[in-house]
Amino acid sequence: MSREREMAMEFLGLNFMQSAQVDMESLSRSFIDEMEKGLKGELSSLFMLPTYIEAKSAIPSNRPVIALDAGGTNFRVALVVFDDEKKPLIKGFRKFPMPGVKGEVGLEEFFACIATAIGDLIPESDDIGFCFSYPTEIMENGDGRLLRFSKEINAKEVEGQMIGENLNKALLARGMNKPKNIVIVNDTVTTLLAGMSAFADRNFDSYIGFILGTGTNCCYSEKNSLITKIKGVRAQGEQVINIESGGFGRSPRGLIDREFDETTLNPGFYTFEKMISGAYLGGLFTLTLKSASRAGLFSAGTAASIDSASPFTTSDMGAFLADKEKAGSVHNLMAKEGELAIAFCIAEEIVDRAARLSAVNLASIAIKTGKGFDPLRPVLTAADGTTFYELPGLRQKTLRYIDSFLRVSHGQYMEFARVDNASLIGAAIAGLR
Ligand code: BGC
Protein backbone atom coordinates (compact mmCIF):
# COMPACT_ATOMS: atom_id res chain seq x y z
CA MET A 1 0.00 0.00 0.00
CA SER A 2 1.30 3.50 -0.76
CA ARG A 3 2.16 5.75 2.17
CA GLU A 4 -0.63 8.16 1.09
CA ARG A 5 -3.26 5.43 1.06
CA GLU A 6 -2.03 4.16 4.41
CA MET A 7 -2.39 7.67 5.89
CA ALA A 8 -5.87 8.17 4.43
CA MET A 9 -7.12 4.76 5.58
CA GLU A 10 -5.68 5.11 9.05
CA PHE A 11 -7.31 8.53 9.45
CA LEU A 12 -10.68 7.25 8.16
CA GLY A 13 -10.47 4.20 10.41
CA LEU A 14 -9.83 6.30 13.52
CA ASN A 15 -12.95 8.30 12.63
CA PHE A 16 -15.03 5.14 11.91
CA MET A 17 -15.46 6.30 8.33
CA GLN A 18 -13.93 3.29 6.50
CA SER A 19 -16.19 1.30 4.23
CA ALA A 20 -15.01 -2.05 5.66
CA GLN A 21 -16.08 -0.92 9.15
CA VAL A 22 -19.66 -1.53 8.02
CA ASP A 23 -20.54 -5.20 8.55
CA MET A 24 -22.98 -6.03 5.76
CA GLU A 25 -24.51 -9.10 7.37
CA SER A 26 -25.44 -7.49 10.66
CA LEU A 27 -26.51 -4.24 8.98
CA SER A 28 -28.81 -6.22 6.71
CA ARG A 29 -30.38 -7.94 9.74
CA SER A 30 -31.08 -4.52 11.31
CA PHE A 31 -32.48 -3.23 8.01
CA ILE A 32 -34.89 -6.18 7.73
CA ASP A 33 -35.89 -5.75 11.37
CA GLU A 34 -36.74 -2.08 10.71
CA MET A 35 -38.69 -3.07 7.57
CA GLU A 36 -40.77 -5.53 9.59
CA LYS A 37 -41.44 -3.05 12.37
CA GLY A 38 -42.44 -0.39 9.84
CA LEU A 39 -44.93 -2.78 8.18
CA LYS A 40 -46.52 -3.52 11.54
CA GLY A 41 -46.78 0.15 12.47
CA GLU A 42 -44.27 -0.22 15.30
CA LEU A 43 -41.64 2.41 15.97
CA SER A 44 -39.15 2.25 13.07
CA SER A 45 -36.81 4.57 11.21
CA LEU A 46 -38.26 3.18 7.95
CA PHE A 47 -41.64 4.70 7.04
CA MET A 48 -42.59 1.61 4.89
CA LEU A 49 -45.33 3.58 3.12
CA PRO A 50 -48.18 1.65 1.46
CA THR A 51 -48.94 2.85 -2.10
CA TYR A 52 -52.15 0.93 -2.92
CA ILE A 53 -50.50 0.20 -6.27
CA GLU A 54 -50.03 -3.35 -7.49
CA ALA A 55 -46.93 -4.17 -9.48
CA LYS A 56 -48.84 -5.19 -12.64
CA SER A 57 -47.90 -4.35 -16.17
CA ALA A 58 -51.31 -3.64 -17.86
CA ILE A 59 -51.34 -0.13 -19.36
CA PRO A 60 -54.27 1.46 -21.27
CA SER A 61 -53.36 2.58 -24.83
CA ASN A 62 -54.07 5.95 -26.48
CA ARG A 63 -55.19 7.80 -23.33
CA PRO A 64 -53.10 10.95 -22.77
CA VAL A 65 -52.08 11.72 -19.21
CA ILE A 66 -50.23 14.70 -17.73
CA ALA A 67 -47.05 13.45 -16.05
CA LEU A 68 -45.28 15.56 -13.42
CA ASP A 69 -41.96 14.83 -11.79
CA ALA A 70 -40.84 16.76 -8.70
CA GLY A 71 -37.25 15.63 -8.10
CA GLY A 72 -34.56 16.97 -5.80
CA THR A 73 -33.28 19.56 -8.27
CA ASN A 74 -35.67 19.81 -11.21
CA PHE A 75 -39.39 19.87 -11.81
CA ARG A 76 -40.43 18.20 -15.09
CA VAL A 77 -43.73 18.21 -16.95
CA ALA A 78 -44.92 16.32 -20.05
CA LEU A 79 -47.93 14.80 -21.74
CA VAL A 80 -47.54 11.04 -22.13
CA VAL A 81 -49.56 8.64 -24.23
CA PHE A 82 -48.94 4.90 -24.70
CA ASP A 83 -49.46 3.56 -28.23
CA ASP A 84 -50.99 0.19 -29.14
CA GLU A 85 -47.63 -1.50 -28.50
CA LYS A 86 -47.49 0.21 -25.07
CA LYS A 87 -44.60 2.37 -26.18
CA PRO A 88 -44.68 5.77 -24.41
CA LEU A 89 -44.77 8.94 -26.52
CA ILE A 90 -43.63 11.99 -24.57
CA LYS A 91 -44.86 15.39 -25.77
CA GLY A 92 -44.60 18.99 -24.52
CA PHE A 93 -41.68 18.21 -22.22
CA ARG A 94 -40.39 21.12 -20.10
CA LYS A 95 -38.12 21.48 -17.09
CA PHE A 96 -37.96 24.08 -14.27
CA PRO A 97 -35.96 24.41 -11.05
CA MET A 98 -37.72 22.61 -8.19
CA PRO A 99 -39.51 25.23 -6.02
CA GLY A 100 -37.78 25.49 -2.61
CA VAL A 101 -34.37 24.45 -3.89
CA LYS A 102 -33.00 28.00 -3.96
CA GLY A 103 -34.48 29.49 -0.78
CA GLU A 104 -37.72 29.19 1.14
CA VAL A 105 -41.13 29.21 -0.60
CA GLY A 106 -44.59 29.29 1.03
CA LEU A 107 -47.55 26.94 0.42
CA GLU A 108 -49.33 29.04 -2.19
CA GLU A 109 -46.20 29.93 -4.08
CA PHE A 110 -45.14 26.26 -4.18
CA PHE A 111 -48.35 25.07 -5.84
CA ALA A 112 -48.67 28.20 -8.02
CA CYS A 113 -45.22 27.40 -9.48
CA ILE A 114 -46.34 23.86 -10.32
CA ALA A 115 -49.67 25.00 -11.81
CA THR A 116 -47.85 27.56 -13.96
CA ALA A 117 -45.41 24.90 -15.14
CA ILE A 118 -48.27 22.68 -16.35
CA GLY A 119 -49.61 25.69 -18.30
CA ASP A 120 -51.02 24.81 -21.74
CA LEU A 121 -51.16 21.06 -20.99
CA ILE A 122 -54.06 21.59 -18.53
CA PRO A 123 -56.83 20.94 -21.12
CA GLU A 124 -55.06 17.89 -22.60
CA SER A 125 -56.14 15.31 -19.99
CA ASP A 126 -58.32 14.85 -16.90
CA ASP A 127 -55.62 12.67 -15.34
CA ILE A 128 -52.37 13.65 -13.68
CA GLY A 129 -49.73 11.19 -12.54
CA PHE A 130 -47.44 13.07 -10.16
CA CYS A 131 -44.05 11.61 -9.30
CA PHE A 132 -43.36 13.31 -5.98
CA SER A 133 -40.00 12.22 -4.63
CA TYR A 134 -40.32 12.95 -0.91
CA PRO A 135 -41.66 10.97 2.05
CA THR A 136 -45.40 11.10 1.41
CA GLU A 137 -48.21 9.11 2.98
CA ILE A 138 -50.45 7.88 0.15
CA MET A 139 -54.24 7.72 0.59
CA GLU A 140 -56.49 5.09 -0.99
CA ASN A 141 -57.86 7.75 -3.42
CA GLY A 142 -54.35 8.31 -4.81
CA ASP A 143 -53.66 11.66 -3.14
CA GLY A 144 -50.72 11.98 -0.75
CA ARG A 145 -49.81 13.92 2.38
CA LEU A 146 -46.22 15.15 2.50
CA LEU A 147 -44.69 13.99 5.78
CA ARG A 148 -41.58 16.09 5.51
CA PHE A 149 -39.21 17.40 2.88
CA SER A 150 -35.90 15.62 2.42
CA LYS A 151 -32.99 16.62 0.10
CA GLU A 152 -32.68 20.13 1.57
CA ILE A 153 -35.92 21.48 0.00
CA ASN A 154 -37.00 24.58 1.87
CA ALA A 155 -40.80 24.79 1.88
CA LYS A 156 -41.87 24.15 5.47
CA GLU A 157 -45.51 25.22 4.88
CA VAL A 158 -46.02 22.36 2.42
CA GLU A 159 -45.10 19.74 5.04
CA GLY A 160 -48.20 17.95 6.36
CA GLN A 161 -50.29 19.11 3.37
CA MET A 162 -52.21 17.09 0.74
CA ILE A 163 -50.36 17.41 -2.55
CA GLY A 164 -53.12 16.59 -5.09
CA GLU A 165 -55.78 18.62 -3.28
CA ASN A 166 -53.56 21.72 -3.10
CA LEU A 167 -52.51 21.36 -6.72
CA ASN A 168 -56.17 21.16 -7.79
CA LYS A 169 -56.83 24.35 -5.78
CA ALA A 170 -54.01 26.14 -7.58
CA LEU A 171 -55.23 24.89 -10.97
CA LEU A 172 -58.83 25.96 -10.24
CA ALA A 173 -57.53 29.41 -9.23
CA ARG A 174 -55.94 29.60 -12.70
CA GLY A 175 -59.31 29.11 -14.41
CA MET A 176 -59.49 25.30 -14.76
CA ASN A 177 -63.17 24.28 -14.56
CA LYS A 178 -63.10 20.92 -12.76
CA PRO A 179 -60.58 19.13 -10.54
CA LYS A 180 -58.23 16.58 -12.11
CA ASN A 181 -57.80 12.99 -10.96
CA ILE A 182 -54.38 13.22 -9.39
CA VAL A 183 -52.34 10.17 -8.38
CA ILE A 184 -49.27 10.87 -6.25
CA VAL A 185 -46.49 8.36 -6.56
CA ASN A 186 -42.89 8.15 -5.33
CA ASP A 187 -40.00 8.12 -7.85
CA THR A 188 -38.95 4.65 -6.74
CA VAL A 189 -42.47 3.46 -7.60
CA THR A 190 -42.43 5.14 -11.02
CA THR A 191 -39.07 3.49 -11.65
CA LEU A 192 -40.40 0.07 -10.65
CA LEU A 193 -43.48 0.50 -12.89
CA ALA A 194 -41.43 1.77 -15.83
CA GLY A 195 -38.94 -1.10 -15.31
CA MET A 196 -41.73 -3.69 -15.32
CA SER A 197 -43.26 -2.32 -18.49
CA ALA A 198 -39.90 -2.04 -20.30
CA PHE A 199 -39.05 -5.68 -19.52
CA ALA A 200 -42.56 -7.16 -19.77
CA ASP A 201 -41.22 -10.01 -21.96
CA ARG A 202 -38.69 -11.19 -19.35
CA ASN A 203 -39.37 -13.46 -16.41
CA PHE A 204 -38.30 -11.95 -13.09
CA ASP A 205 -39.11 -13.25 -9.61
CA SER A 206 -39.82 -9.72 -8.34
CA TYR A 207 -38.99 -6.06 -8.91
CA ILE A 208 -37.31 -3.27 -6.97
CA GLY A 209 -37.41 0.42 -7.86
CA PHE A 210 -34.16 2.06 -6.76
CA ILE A 211 -33.08 5.71 -6.87
CA LEU A 212 -29.65 7.06 -6.11
CA GLY A 213 -29.64 10.67 -7.23
CA THR A 214 -29.96 13.77 -5.09
CA GLY A 215 -31.58 11.45 -2.52
CA THR A 216 -31.79 7.69 -2.22
CA ASN A 217 -34.63 5.25 -1.67
CA CYS A 218 -36.22 2.02 -2.90
CA CYS A 219 -39.56 0.26 -3.15
CA TYR A 220 -40.67 -3.35 -3.62
CA SER A 221 -43.76 -5.50 -3.77
CA GLU A 222 -44.97 -6.81 -0.39
CA LYS A 223 -47.74 -9.21 0.62
CA ASN A 224 -50.79 -7.35 1.95
CA SER A 225 -51.04 -9.91 4.76
CA LEU A 226 -47.71 -8.65 6.13
CA ILE A 227 -48.68 -4.96 6.04
CA THR A 228 -50.60 -5.25 9.26
CA LYS A 229 -50.63 -1.50 9.95
CA ILE A 230 -53.35 -0.96 7.33
CA LYS A 231 -56.79 -2.47 7.73
CA GLY A 232 -59.30 -3.45 5.07
CA VAL A 233 -56.99 -4.36 2.16
CA ARG A 234 -57.42 -7.70 0.45
CA ALA A 235 -55.27 -10.11 2.45
CA GLN A 236 -54.36 -12.21 -0.62
CA GLY A 237 -52.92 -9.44 -2.80
CA GLU A 238 -49.64 -7.57 -2.88
CA GLN A 239 -48.82 -3.89 -3.19
CA VAL A 240 -45.79 -1.74 -3.68
CA ILE A 241 -44.23 -0.42 -0.48
CA ASN A 242 -42.14 2.76 -0.54
CA ILE A 243 -39.49 1.97 2.05
CA GLU A 244 -38.06 5.53 2.38
CA SER A 245 -34.75 3.80 2.95
CA GLY A 246 -32.86 7.11 3.24
CA GLY A 247 -34.36 7.39 6.71
CA PHE A 248 -32.77 4.17 7.97
CA GLY A 249 -31.42 5.05 11.39
CA ARG A 250 -29.42 1.98 12.44
CA SER A 251 -26.40 2.25 10.19
CA PRO A 252 -23.12 2.79 12.04
CA ARG A 253 -22.05 6.41 11.52
CA GLY A 254 -18.57 7.84 11.74
CA LEU A 255 -17.48 10.89 13.71
CA ILE A 256 -17.40 13.04 10.56
CA ASP A 257 -20.89 11.84 9.52
CA ARG A 258 -22.17 13.15 12.84
CA GLU A 259 -20.41 16.48 12.50
CA PHE A 260 -21.68 16.81 8.91
CA ASP A 261 -25.26 16.00 9.91
CA GLU A 262 -25.25 19.05 12.20
CA THR A 263 -24.63 21.31 9.17
CA THR A 264 -27.74 20.09 7.27
CA LEU A 265 -31.28 21.53 7.25
CA ASN A 266 -32.70 18.67 9.38
CA PRO A 267 -30.04 17.19 11.69
CA GLY A 268 -30.80 13.62 12.84
CA PHE A 269 -33.21 13.05 9.95
CA TYR A 270 -32.36 10.79 6.96
CA THR A 271 -28.86 10.04 8.25
CA PHE A 272 -28.50 7.00 5.92
CA GLU A 273 -29.19 9.18 2.89
CA LYS A 274 -26.55 11.65 4.10
CA MET A 275 -23.92 8.87 3.76
CA ILE A 276 -25.06 7.87 0.27
CA SER A 277 -26.66 10.41 -2.02
CA GLY A 278 -25.74 13.31 -4.28
CA ALA A 279 -27.19 16.09 -2.10
CA TYR A 280 -24.63 15.19 0.55
CA LEU A 281 -21.52 13.31 -0.64
CA GLY A 282 -19.72 16.45 -1.85
CA GLY A 283 -20.33 18.18 1.49
CA LEU A 284 -19.26 15.10 3.43
CA PHE A 285 -16.08 14.88 1.35
CA THR A 286 -15.31 18.58 2.01
CA LEU A 287 -15.73 18.14 5.76
CA THR A 288 -13.62 14.96 5.72
CA LEU A 289 -10.80 16.88 3.99
CA LYS A 290 -11.11 19.64 6.62
CA SER A 291 -10.98 17.11 9.40
CA ALA A 292 -7.98 15.37 7.77
CA SER A 293 -6.14 18.65 7.58
CA ARG A 294 -6.88 19.29 11.29
CA ALA A 295 -5.38 15.86 11.94
CA GLY A 296 -2.19 16.91 10.15
CA LEU A 297 -2.53 14.95 6.89
CA PHE A 298 -1.89 18.04 4.76
CA SER A 299 0.78 20.75 4.75
CA ALA A 300 0.03 24.10 6.42
CA GLY A 301 -0.54 25.82 3.05
CA THR A 302 -2.94 23.14 1.84
CA ALA A 303 -4.71 23.07 5.21
CA ALA A 304 -5.34 26.83 4.97
CA SER A 305 -6.74 26.51 1.42
CA ILE A 306 -9.00 23.61 2.43
CA ASP A 307 -10.28 25.59 5.39
CA SER A 308 -11.27 28.60 3.35
CA ALA A 309 -12.64 26.65 0.36
CA SER A 310 -16.40 26.58 -0.20
CA PRO A 311 -17.98 23.11 -0.04
CA PHE A 312 -17.49 20.82 -3.04
CA THR A 313 -20.54 19.50 -4.78
CA THR A 314 -20.87 15.80 -5.50
CA SER A 315 -20.20 16.59 -9.13
CA ASP A 316 -16.90 18.38 -8.19
CA MET A 317 -16.01 15.21 -6.31
CA GLY A 318 -16.93 13.13 -9.37
CA ALA A 319 -14.82 15.29 -11.67
CA PHE A 320 -11.86 14.81 -9.34
CA LEU A 321 -12.35 11.04 -9.18
CA ALA A 322 -12.69 10.82 -12.95
CA ASP A 323 -9.62 12.84 -13.82
CA LYS A 324 -7.45 13.19 -10.76
CA GLU A 325 -4.53 14.91 -12.46
CA LYS A 326 -6.35 17.75 -14.23
CA ALA A 327 -6.72 21.16 -12.63
CA GLY A 328 -10.08 21.39 -10.91
CA SER A 329 -11.58 22.66 -7.67
CA VAL A 330 -10.13 19.84 -5.52
CA HIS A 331 -6.83 19.64 -7.37
CA ASN A 332 -6.20 23.38 -7.00
CA LEU A 333 -6.16 23.15 -3.20
CA MET A 334 -3.35 20.65 -2.91
CA ALA A 335 0.02 22.35 -2.63
CA LYS A 336 2.40 19.43 -2.12
CA GLU A 337 3.15 16.19 -3.86
CA GLY A 338 1.30 13.23 -2.41
CA GLU A 339 -1.58 15.33 -1.06
CA LEU A 340 -3.67 14.70 -4.14
CA ALA A 341 -3.34 10.96 -3.60
CA ILE A 342 -4.52 11.30 0.02
CA ALA A 343 -7.56 13.33 -1.11
CA PHE A 344 -8.25 10.78 -3.83
CA CYS A 345 -8.21 7.84 -1.39
CA ILE A 346 -10.61 9.71 0.90
CA ALA A 347 -13.05 10.45 -1.94
CA GLU A 348 -12.83 6.89 -3.23
CA GLU A 349 -13.54 5.45 0.23
CA ILE A 350 -16.62 7.66 0.66
CA VAL A 351 -17.91 6.31 -2.66
CA ASP A 352 -17.05 2.74 -1.67
CA ARG A 353 -19.03 3.05 1.55
CA ALA A 354 -22.03 4.56 -0.27
CA ALA A 355 -21.93 1.53 -2.60
CA ARG A 356 -21.70 -0.91 0.30
CA LEU A 357 -24.65 0.70 2.09
CA SER A 358 -26.72 0.74 -1.11
CA ALA A 359 -25.96 -2.93 -1.67
CA VAL A 360 -27.13 -3.74 1.88
CA ASN A 361 -30.29 -1.76 1.24
CA LEU A 362 -31.11 -3.67 -1.98
CA ALA A 363 -29.95 -7.10 -0.84
CA SER A 364 -32.02 -6.84 2.35
CA ILE A 365 -35.20 -6.60 0.27
CA ALA A 366 -34.35 -9.79 -1.65
CA ILE A 367 -33.40 -11.57 1.60
CA LYS A 368 -36.56 -10.46 3.42
CA THR A 369 -38.90 -11.45 0.57
CA GLY A 370 -36.97 -14.66 -0.26
CA LYS A 371 -36.84 -13.79 -3.97
CA GLY A 372 -34.29 -14.52 -6.71
CA PHE A 373 -33.05 -17.98 -5.66
CA ASP A 374 -33.60 -19.33 -9.18
CA PRO A 375 -30.74 -18.01 -11.33
CA LEU A 376 -33.14 -17.94 -14.30
CA ARG A 377 -35.61 -15.70 -12.44
CA PRO A 378 -33.56 -13.03 -10.68
CA VAL A 379 -34.90 -9.96 -8.93
CA LEU A 380 -34.90 -6.99 -11.30
CA THR A 381 -33.70 -3.73 -9.79
CA ALA A 382 -34.76 -0.85 -12.02
CA ALA A 383 -32.26 1.83 -11.04
CA ASP A 384 -32.30 5.54 -11.72
CA GLY A 385 -30.47 8.64 -10.50
CA THR A 386 -27.53 10.69 -11.72
CA THR A 387 -25.35 9.89 -8.72
CA PHE A 388 -25.62 6.15 -9.34
CA TYR A 389 -24.72 6.45 -13.00
CA GLU A 390 -22.34 9.42 -12.96
CA LEU A 391 -20.29 9.34 -9.77
CA PRO A 392 -17.21 7.36 -10.85
CA GLY A 393 -17.10 3.85 -9.38
CA LEU A 394 -20.38 3.99 -7.49
CA ARG A 395 -22.45 1.75 -9.76
CA GLN A 396 -19.63 -0.73 -10.38
CA LYS A 397 -18.88 -1.02 -6.67
CA THR A 398 -22.58 -1.45 -5.79
CA LEU A 399 -22.89 -4.28 -8.31
CA ARG A 400 -19.73 -5.89 -6.97
CA TYR A 401 -21.05 -5.78 -3.39
CA ILE A 402 -24.39 -7.18 -4.53
CA ASP A 403 -22.55 -10.03 -6.21
CA SER A 404 -20.36 -10.93 -3.25
CA PHE A 405 -23.00 -10.41 -0.58
CA LEU A 406 -26.26 -11.46 -2.23
CA ARG A 407 -25.16 -14.08 -4.78
CA VAL A 408 -22.06 -15.57 -3.14
CA SER A 409 -23.12 -15.42 0.52
CA HIS A 410 -26.90 -15.77 0.19
CA GLY A 411 -27.33 -17.61 -3.14
CA GLN A 412 -29.77 -15.03 -4.54
CA TYR A 413 -29.67 -13.32 -7.92
CA MET A 414 -30.30 -9.70 -8.82
CA GLU A 415 -30.08 -7.98 -12.18
CA PHE A 416 -29.96 -4.23 -12.77
CA ALA A 417 -31.64 -2.22 -15.53
CA ARG A 418 -31.90 1.39 -16.51
CA VAL A 419 -35.07 2.81 -18.02
CA ASP A 420 -34.95 6.17 -19.76
CA ASN A 421 -37.43 8.76 -18.49
CA ALA A 422 -38.58 6.34 -15.81
CA SER A 423 -40.11 9.05 -13.58
CA LEU A 424 -42.33 10.52 -16.27
CA ILE A 425 -43.29 7.15 -17.76
CA GLY A 426 -43.99 5.59 -14.37
CA ALA A 427 -45.97 8.68 -13.29
CA ALA A 428 -48.03 8.34 -16.48
CA ILE A 429 -48.67 4.62 -15.82
CA ALA A 430 -49.77 5.43 -12.26
CA GLY A 431 -51.94 8.35 -13.48
CA LEU A 432 -53.83 6.03 -15.82
CA ARG A 433 -54.95 3.67 -13.06
C1 BGC B 1 -36.97 10.95 -0.59
C2 BGC B 1 -37.62 9.76 -1.29
C3 BGC B 1 -37.09 9.66 -2.69
C4 BGC B 1 -35.57 9.64 -2.70
C5 BGC B 1 -34.99 9.57 -4.10
C6 BGC B 1 -35.47 10.87 -0.70
O7 BGC B 1 -34.89 12.03 -0.15
O8 BGC B 1 -37.36 11.00 0.75
O9 BGC B 1 -39.02 9.88 -1.29
O10 BGC B 1 -37.59 8.48 -3.27
O11 BGC B 1 -35.08 10.78 -2.04
O12 BGC B 1 -35.38 10.64 -4.88
Q: What is the CATH classification number for the domain harbouring 180?
A: 3.30.420.40
- pLDDT exceeds 80 at position 234: no
> 1-10, 182-191, 326-335, 348-357: which has the minimum mean pLDDT?
326-335
**CA 36 / ligand 1 centre spacing (Å):** 20
Buried b (16+ CB within 10 A) or exposed e, 326-362: eeeebbebbeeeebbbbbbbbbbbbbbbbbbbbbbbb
Per the structure, the complete domain to which residue 141 belongs is given by 65-189+423-431
Answer whether residue 147 is part of any domain: yes
Give residue 230 CA to ligand 1 midpoint distance, Å: 22
Q: Which residues pair with 210 in a beta bridge?
A: 218, 383
C-beta of residue 154 within 8 angstroms of C-beta of residue 103: yes
Q: What percent of the chain has pLDDT over 70?
A: 99
pLDDT computed for residue 57 by the predictor: 63
Is the CB of 134 within 6 Å of ligand 1?
A: yes
For residue 433, pLDDT beyond 90 = no
Query: Is residue 135 one of the residues assigned to a domain?
Result: yes
- Distance in Å, CA 51 to ligand 1 centroid: 15
What is the tally of structural domains in the chain?
1
- Average pLDDT, rounded, for the chain: 94
**For residues 362 and 185, what is the distance between their CA atoms, to the nearest angstrom?**
20
CA distances from 266 to 39, 103, 271 (A): 25, 15, 10
216 lines ligand 1 (CB under 6 A): yes
> Are 298 and 371 in contact, with CB atoms under 8 Å apart?
no
Kindly indicate the confidence band of residue 51, based on its pLDDT and cuts at 50, 70 and 90.
Answer: very high
- For range 339-351, the mean pLDDT: 96
The verdict on the CB of residue 186 being under 6 Å from ligand 1 is yes
Q: From the CB of 384, is ligand 1 less than 6 Å away?
A: no
Give the residue, out of 49, 134, 271, with the most ligand 1 atoms within 8 A of its beta carbon, to mutate for a pocket test: 134
- Alpha helix locations (H) across 22-84? 24-40
CA geometry: angle 187, 395, 318, nearest 5 deg: 95
Average pLDDT over residues 142-165: 94
Angle between helices 314-322 and 281-294 (to 10 degrees): 70
Task: For residue 81, tell me if it sits in a domain.
Answer: yes
What does the pLDDT look like over 256-306, one tens digit per residue? 999 999 999 999 999 999 999 999 999 999 999 999 999 999 999 999 999
pLDDT at 366 over 80: yes
* Atom number of ligand 1 nearest to Cα 136: 9
Atom of ligand 1 nearest to the CA of 211: 5
Average pLDDT over residues 47-56: 91
The model's confidence at residue 337, banded by pLDDT at 50, 70 and 90, is confident
Output the pTM of the full model.
Answer: 0.94
190 lines ligand 1 (CB under 6 A): no
For residue 287, tell me if it sits in a domain.
Answer: no
Is the pLDDT higher at 58 or at 138? 138
Residue 238 lies in a domain: no
Distance CA 30, CA 17 (A): 19
User: In the predicted model, is pLDDT for residue 109 greater than 90?
Assistant: yes
Number of the ligand 1 atom closest to the C-alpha atom of 188: 10
Nearest CA to ligand 1 atom 2: 134
Taking CA atoms only, the protein residue closest to ligand 1 atom 7 is 215
Q: Which residues of 65-100 are buried (b: 16+ CB within 10 A; e: fewer)?
A: bbbbbbbbeebbbbbbbbeeeeebebeeeeeeebbb
For residue 234, tell me if it sits in a domain: no
Domain presence at residue 300: no
User: Which pLDDT belongs to residue 75?
Assistant: 94
| pLDDT of the residue at 327 | 65
Whether 8 maps to a domain, the answer reads no
**Mean pLDDT calculated for residue range 227-244:** 89
